[in-house]
Amino acid sequence: MKKMTRYFAVLLLMTGGCTKDYLDKRSDQSLLVPGTVADYQKLMDASVAGNLNTVPGLNEIASDNYTADDATLTGLDAIERNSYLWAKDVYQGAAVNDWNQPYSGIFTCNVVLAGIDQADPSKGSLAKAVKGAAYFHRATAFYSLLQEFAAPYSAATAASLPGLPVRTTPDVNVIAGRGTLEQSYQQVISDLKAAADLLPETGTIKNRPVKAAAFAMLARTYQSMSDHARALDYATKALALNHQLIDYNTLEASGYDSPFPLIFPNGNPEALVFGNLVGYSFFIEPGVFADPILYGSYAEDDLRKSLFFADQGYGGFSYLGTYTGDFSSLFGGPATDELYLIRAESYARAGNTTAALKDLNDLLVTRWKTGTFVPFKANTSEDALPVILEERRKELIGRGLRWTDLRRLNLEERFKTTISKLSNGETIELLPGDKRYVFPIPDEEVNRSGIPQNER
């Protein structure tokens, strides 16, 4: 009991605490231990803003979705500027929220998983949902960390490359090594499968995951592992539970804010669970624009061109199309539009051109002005796949997914991409397979735990 009291006290400091009413009722330190299922639910809910539902954002800054002018870059925090320019020393001694926030969320989940089985057994369905949520959020955190701080997954090398510290206990004295990349991914898969077995099919608010969200994250994980057969399977399972798409003809571009409904309490039917990228000023700076080539790739009748972007008078088009409904908070959770694209790609890779194009066209008809969309056609799956990948990039901008796509597609000769950025008149390139596709582990973590640093 004393050990759990200490864990929970540390957690309160890490998350910023629970609700004021909850703490007022439990002001005696001896009672700062979750004792009921309801306590654990409150703990999870209170941790949403601080660490749960939050995934790294530096990789989105580092992607090729945006351009920034020199004046804007000069004014950015060093960690944001260095991520954008793929610098060798990204952090320059600063705290790394992309590392700290997911691991703080993992700590929260470990507290829940360590104690909830000893809580009130009469709350069976709620206990299952809370436990499932803890598995889900832990898996999502580990997955998102892998996309930034570990090498891209390849079945040929995953057993020999380092993974991440996989912490599955709330004991702060336990030092976890990096293990292998394969072990890290298997932890993600194991947690997500456990979550899928426990989570309910429907929910009331978006910060609490449901079964479809676990299936969707399994589809996303397997896609990043290039296991397209399993990605297809889990995307199909998720879509069987929720296949809703927003008809973009029902939305109105504002020019100053996201045209999408606020996600809370239950405002976006495509979003399977709330998730947001770590907040950085980069995403709301007036001198940061959507990549002009990307912006120019949208047809005039494609409503995403006017709903995702706006010319706010700074010389380029700003991205406003986040599914959180708040342009200052980028959406990073799983959603049904991503599932249609995962399944379309998986069908194409399996040689099922008809099914691949059906999923693609079923999505895109909801994105174009009514009566203007002409369905895509292709003679072969080889022809369909590049079209699907192009539409994937156009649909999922701002979701924190482009970096993973670049990493995984660079493992295929036909999709290798060199990206470049301009800074002070100098063109900086990032070649396929460059070591800068893996962010360094924060120095503080390396010094504390002794784990090996990533080469960069």
Write out the DSSP string of 94-158: ---HHHHHHHHHHHHHHHHHHHGGGS-TT-HHHHHHHHHHHHHHHHHHHHHHHHHHSPPP-TTTT
Tens of pLDDT along 354-408? 999 999 999 999 999 999 999 999 999 999 999 999 999 999 999 999 999 999 9
For the chain, what percentages of helix, strand and coil (3-state, to nearest 5) are there? 50, 5, 45
Amino acid (1-letter code) at residue 422:
L
Q: Does the domain formed by 37-449 have CATH 1.25.40.390? A: yes
Q: Which secondary structure element, helix H or strand E, spans residue 228, and what is its range?
A: helix 228-241
Tens of pLDDT along 132-172? 999 999 999 999 999 999 999 999 999 999 999 999 999 88
Cα 139 from Cα 133, distance rounded (Å): 10
Cα 362 from Cα 367, distance rounded (Å): 10
Q: Which secondary structure element, helix H or strand E, spans residue 66, and what is its range?
A: strand 66-68
Span 177-191, average pLDDT: 97
Cα 414 from Cα 408, distance rounded (Å): 12
Cα 79 from Cα 89, distance rounded (Å): 9
Contact residues for 106 (Cβ-Cβ < 8 A; gap 6+): 138, 141, 142, 167
Residue 434 has pLDDT above 90, yes or no: yes
pLDDT band at 31 (very low <50, low <70, confident <90, very high): very low
Residue 96 has pLDDT above 60, yes or no: yes
CA distances from residue 193 to 116, 187, 234 in whole angstroms, order as listed? 18, 10, 11
Torsion-angle region of 276 (φ positive above 0: left; ψ -120 to 50: alpha; else: beta): beta
Cα 248 from Cα 265, distance rounded (Å): 21
- Percent of the chain's residues with pLDDT above 90: 82
Residue 427 has pLDDT above 90, yes or no: yes
Residue 173 has phi, psi (to 5 degrees) of: -85, -10
- Closest-CA residue to 279 (of 66, 58, 64): 58
Tens of pLDDT along 40-72? 999 998 877 568 889 999 999 999 999 999 999
User: What 3-state DSSP class applies to 243?
Assistant: coil
In the chain, where are the structural domains located?
A: 37-449
pLDDT band at 276 (very low <50, low <70, confident <90, very high): very high
Contact residues for 92 (Cβ-Cβ < 8 A; gap 6+): 78, 79, 82
Cα 93 from Cα 175, distance rounded (Å): 22
* Residue 255, pLDDT score: 78
- Percent of the chain's residues with pLDDT above 70: 91
* Residue 47, pLDDT score: 78
CA distances from residue 17 to 5, 35, 74, 264, 276 in whole angstroms, order as listed? 14, 16, 35, 21, 20
- State the CB neighbour count (10 A cutoff) for residue 176: 13
Q: Contact, 228 vs 234, CB < 8 A? A: no
- Closest-CA residue to 295 (of 259, 320, 261): 320
Q: Contact, 99 vs 107, CB < 8 A? A: no
* Residue 49, pLDDT score: 58
Buried b (16+ CB within 10 A) or exposed e, 179-201: bbbbebbebbbebbbbbbebbbe
Q: Contact, 43 vs 112, CB < 8 A? A: yes
Residue 4 has pLDDT above 80, yes or no: no
Structure tokens at 126: 């709620």
User: What 3-state DSSP class applies to 255?
Assistant: coil
